[in-house]
C-alpha cells in the first residue's frame, strides 16, 4: 500500500510556447506521458501499461510551436490519472470508501477507463486493492489540475489576444479495437477527427481538418468510433470562436504496436503532420483576416 506522502512526478507537463509569430493555436497531448509515479501501486505488467500510452504523439506534433502554436504534453501516464476525463468521472468501485462529492461516471468508466482506470487491457487489472480517497485526491492535485490549468491558461491567453481559438487534442489509437472499446475487433481508419458531434467546434473547421488529411491520402472518419473527450468540452465555445477538435492517429502508421518502437512510417507521418500545422497556420490567419475585414 503506498504511503500518503509518496512522491508524484516532479513536473506534470511540458508547455512548449510559439517560436514563430503567435497564433491562437493550442495543441495538447494528454496521454503522451509514461513516467510511472512511485505511488502508482499497480500490479499490471509494464507492457500492459505501455499499451495505454499515446507513444511519441508529442514528438509527432513537435513542429507546432514553429508554426505559432502552443504544445502541451503530459509527463504522467493516463493509467495513473486521465486528464481527458471529467473530475467527476470516477469509478466508485475502485475506492475503499464513498467519494464525498457527487460522481458522474461515463460509459468509458463503466468499461474500466475513467479518471482512474480499472484495467490496463481487457482482463488485466491495474490494482489488487481499493484506492483511498487521499491518494486519488493527490493524483488530482499533483497532475490532473495542473495540466488542466496549463491548457486553460494557454487557450485563454490565445483567445484574449486574437478573439478566437483553435485547439487540437492529440491522441493515438490501437489499429484494432479491443474488448474494452465500442469497436471491439474492428480495424480502424488512419485518423479519426472528433468534435463531440458538432458541439465543440464549428463543423466547417472539423470538416476542413478531415478533408486535409483525406486529400493527403489518409483514411479518415469523423466522430467514429471516437467523439472526443472532456478536454474538448472544457476549453471550447464555438459561439465565441473557441473551436476544439480531437485527432486520433492509428499507431500502425508510425510504430510497432507490440514493441512500442517507431517504425519506418514515422518520418513520413511527421512530415505530413508538420504539413498540416503549416496548413492550419494559414487557415487560422485567413480566418482572422476575414473577421477583421482585411484582404
Is the pLDDT score of 1 beyond 80? Answer: no
Cα dihedral sign for 82, 85, 86, 91? negative
Q: Lowest mean pLDDT of 105-114, 127-136, 188-197, 201-210, name the range.
A: 105-114
> What is the 3-state composition of the chain as percent helix, strand, coil, each rounded to the nearest 5?
35, 20, 45
Is the pLDDT score of 4 beyond 80? Answer: no
Average pLDDT over residues 5-18: 77
**Domain 13-82+133-292: homologous superfamily in CATH:** Zn-dependent exopeptidases (3.40.630.40)
Question: CA-based angle 79:92:107, to the nearest 5?
Answer: 70
- What is the pLDDT at residue 122? 94
Q: Lowest mean pLDDT of 169-173, 178-182, 268-272, name the range.
A: 178-182
Please enumerate in sequence order all residues whose Cβ is within 8 A of that of 136, keeping only pairs 6 or more positions apart, or say none.
Answer: 90, 95, 116
- What is the pLDDT at residue 185? 83
Is the pLDDT score of 3 beyond 50? Answer: no
Q: What is the mean pLDDT of the chain?
A: 94
Helix 203-215 vs helix 266-292: crossing angle, to nearest 10: 140
- What is the pLDDT at residue 242? 97
Is the pLDDT score of 280 beyond 90? Answer: yes
Name the pLDDT band for 2 (thresholds 50, 70, 90).
very low
Is the pLDDT score of 183 beyond 90? Answer: no
Rounded to two decimals, the pTM is 0.94
Name the pLDDT band for 7 (thresholds 50, 70, 90).
low
- What is the pLDDT at residue 6? 42
- CA neighbor of 225 nearest in space, from 171, 151, 266, 261: 171
- What is the pLDDT at residue 271? 98
Pinpoint the alpha helices (H) of the chain: 46-50, 57-60, 107-110, 133-139, 145-162, 203-215, 230-235, 266-292
Amino acid at each position: 500500500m503506498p504511503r500518503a506522502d509518496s512522491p508524484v512526478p516532479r513536473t506534470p507537463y511540458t508547455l512548449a510556447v510559439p517560436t514563430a509569430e503567435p497564433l491562437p493555436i493550442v495543441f495538447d497531448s494528454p496521454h503522451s506521458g509514461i513516467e510511472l509515479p512511485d505511488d502508482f501501486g499497480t500490479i499490471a505488467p509494464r507492457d500492459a501499461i505501455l499499451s495505454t500510452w499515446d507513444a511519441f504523439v508529442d514528438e509527432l506534433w513537435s513542429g507546432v510551436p514553429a508554426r505559432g502554436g502552443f504544445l502541451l504534453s503530459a509527463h504522467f501516464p493516463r493509467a495513473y490519472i486521465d486528464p481527458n476525463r471529467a473530475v467527476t468521472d470516477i469509478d466508485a468501485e475502485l475506492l475503499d470508501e464513498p467519494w464525498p462529492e457527487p460522481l458522474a461516471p461515463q460509459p468509458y468508466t463503466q468499461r474500466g477507463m475513467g479518471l482512474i482506470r480499472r484495467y490496463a487491457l481487457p482482463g488485466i487489472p491495474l490494482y489488487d486493492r481499493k484506492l483511498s480517497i487521499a491518494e486519488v485526491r493527490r493524483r488530482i492535485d499533483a497532475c490532473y489540475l495542473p495540466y488542466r490549468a496549463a491548457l486553460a491558461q494557454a487557450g485563454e491567453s490565445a483567445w484574449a489576444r486574437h478573439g478566437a481559438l483553435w485547439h487540437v487534442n492529440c491522441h493515438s489509437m490501437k489499429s484494432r479495437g479491443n474488448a474494452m472499446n465500442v469497436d471491439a475487433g474492428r480495424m480502424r481508419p488512419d485518423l479519426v477527427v472528433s468534435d463531440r458531434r458538432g458541439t465543440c467546434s464549428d463543423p466547417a473547421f472539423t470538416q476542413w481538418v478531415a478533408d486535409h488529411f483525406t486529400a493527403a491520402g489518409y483514411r479518415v472518419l469523423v466522430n467514429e468510433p471516437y467523439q472526443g473527450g472532456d478536454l474538448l468540452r472544457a476549453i471550447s465555445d464555438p459561439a465565441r470562436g473557441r473551436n476544439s477538435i480531437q485527432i486520433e492517429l492509428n499507431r500502425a502508421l508510425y510504430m510497432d504496436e507490440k514493441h512500442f518502437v517507431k517504425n519506418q512510417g514515422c518520418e513520413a507521418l511527421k512530415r505530413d503532420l508538420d504539413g498540416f500545422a503549416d496548413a492550419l497556420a494559414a487557415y487560422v490567419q485567413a480566418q482572422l483576416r476575414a473577421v477583421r475585414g482585411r484582404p
